[in-house]
Amino acid sequence: MTHAGRQRLKLLAFFAIFALPVAVAWGMVEWRIGIPEGRTAHGELQPSLPELSQWPLTDVEKQGEGDWLLAFDCPEACGANADRWWRLHRALGREADRVSRLRIGGGGEPLPGASLAQWTGEADWRSPHRLWILDPEGRPVLGYAPNVATADVLDDLRRLLRMNPEPPSARYESPSTVVGGTGDGE
């Protein structure tokens, strides 16, 4: 092979190095090969639910302004569910301070670190023993049926926290805030 032939071969190999990944990616998209068909969230997306401030609740208190919120409906005594979500909250480890818990309804005192609110009216989307994850602005992100596996909720919550990192100024904000509500005093 002559010198010019080797140089042409090197140039073709150089082009192939850059063109081959593009061709493979195009093939994967075009023929749906190697692309997962399933969804990543275990809960149901909740874009149609109103913001937390519009829920018929007494005042809701969060631990921090930028906290995500685990809100669960307890129509009657629900010690097992409250304990389940308390353990999930502890399982978050160092990210636990970015999440607040809200028990809606039920009797007795809430577990440590949780706040308590009561329903003040009817909501057509409400169902007993349901769990919702709400973003820091109070928008419902995911909803879960009563029989959801705790590990699935933990997986979704960790993914949400990882994909939405805490802003650097969040550590300096006020420790407790009240979010909306339609209590008797309003």
Average pLDDT over residues 119-146: 88
Residue 181's pLDDT is 54
Residue ranges of domains in the chain: 1-38, 44-179
Is 183's pLDDT higher than 50? no
Tokens, residue 94: 């160092």
Give the pLDDT confidence of 139-180 residue by residue, as tens digits: 999 999 988 999 999 999 999 999 888 766 655 555 555 555
Residue with tokens 């003040």: 120
Query: Residue 75: phi, psi to the nearest 5?
Result: -70, -25
138 within 8 A of 151, measured Cβ to Cβ: no
pTM of the complete model: 0.70
Is 70's pLDDT higher than 90? yes
| Distance set, CA 120 to CA 73, 74, 83, 123, 125 (Å) | 13, 14, 24, 10, 15
Tokens, residue 146: 């009563």
122 within 8 A of 92, measured Cβ to Cβ: no
**CA–CA gap between residue 81 and residue 104 (Å, rounded):** 12
Share of the chain above pLDDT 90, in %: 34
Cα torsion through 137, 114, 156, 126, rounded to 10: -70
CATH class of the structural domain 44-179: alpha beta
- DSSP run (H or E) holding 129: none
